[in-house]
Amino acid sequence: MSVAKPRGATNTALGLNAFVVYLFFYAPILLLVLFSFSDDNIVGRWGGFTLDWYRDFGENDEVQSALSVSVRVAIISTLISVVLGTMAALALERFRFRGERVFDALLYLPVIIPDVTMAVMMLIFFTSLDDLIGLQVTKGFSTITLSHVAFSISFVSIVVRARLAGMNQTLEEAAQDLYATRWQAFRHVTFPQIMPGIAGGALLALTLSLDDVVITQFVAGPGSTTLPVYVFGLIRRGVTPLINAVSVVMLGASITLVLLSLLAQRARGGSDPVA
């Protein structure tokens, strides 16, 4: 399905706007990449070309372990919250059930709550589990992931619901009339239709998880520092281009992944691909 292409002048104006938006998105990224090659401690003061920051990254165990924790938390929490968030969106848009209104309201709260409030409440929560039900929680990777899922579910479900709302249901009903099972109808009809929403939600969840500092800081334990928390700690002594280099590596890796998946789709003969 595709929206009709706009004509002539409108199309040009839209294209121009898109260009400006991309310029806006990538202006700081260009600067960030540029200064990852600068031989000066301060980002913004050019000190001649160097690859030292990349070598530092290769030798710095703390940064590497922080990056690896970040990536693992982001991937796992995104997977979980995409599944849960999509189910929640389907339930709310397609069904009526007991407790629906409460659920609806509950689902918005993680978007609304201020970061630091959620951070403090998760800290109290995890440490009081021991007193409440005798469950001793070791803070670290798992508590970070659990907290990230708690806020990501909401973001995913909001984006998926924007897709589901008012979507044409005739296809699904037709499939069921043709004796497709519910699962088959979902798998072959509904799922491809809501895929752009799910993909958007997943991208959002991934981004939120990769960027979160405050909540992570409060629920982390020894050895589970994520990259944003590490960088946040650095600002006292100055964020050196080392962090730019780390960012460039992450950007490079994600661009490569995107291009590879495109090639793979080409090779498969690409039906409407995953966004």
Residues of this chain, 219-258, that bind another protein according to CB under 8 A? 220-225, 227-239, 243-244, 246-248, 250-251, 254-255, 258
Cα separation, 178 vs 174, whole angstroms:
6
Site for another protein in 38-67 (CB under 8 A): 40-45, 62
Nearer to another protein by C-beta: 49 or 114? Answer: 114
Q: What are phi and psi of 2, to 5 degrees?
A: -145, 140
Burial degree of 170 (CB within 10 A; 0-12, 13-18, 19+): exposed
Interface with another protein includes 1 (CB under 8 A)?
yes
Nearer to another protein by C-beta: 49 or 136? Answer: 136
Cα separation, 211 vs 52, whole angstroms:
25
Burial degree of 199 (CB within 10 A; 0-12, 13-18, 19+): middle
Site for another protein in 10-39 (CB under 8 A): 10, 13-15, 17-18, 20-22, 24-29, 31-32, 35
Tell me which of 3, 135, 178, 267 binds another protein, using CB under 8 A. Answer: 3
Tell me which of 54, 161, 189, 216 binds another protein, using CB under 8 A. Answer: 161
Site for another protein in 110-139 (CB under 8 A): 110-117, 120-128, 130-132, 136-139
Site for another protein in 172-211 (CB under 8 A): 173, 177, 193, 196-197, 199-201, 203-204, 206-207, 210-211
Question: How many CA atoms are closer than 13 Å to the CA of 234, on its beta-carbon side?
Answer: 19
Interface with another protein includes 95 (CB under 8 A)?
yes
Cα separation, 255 vs 246, whole angstroms:
14
Burial degree of 22 (CB within 10 A; 0-12, 13-18, 19+): exposed
Least distance (Å) between residue 180 CB and another protein: 14
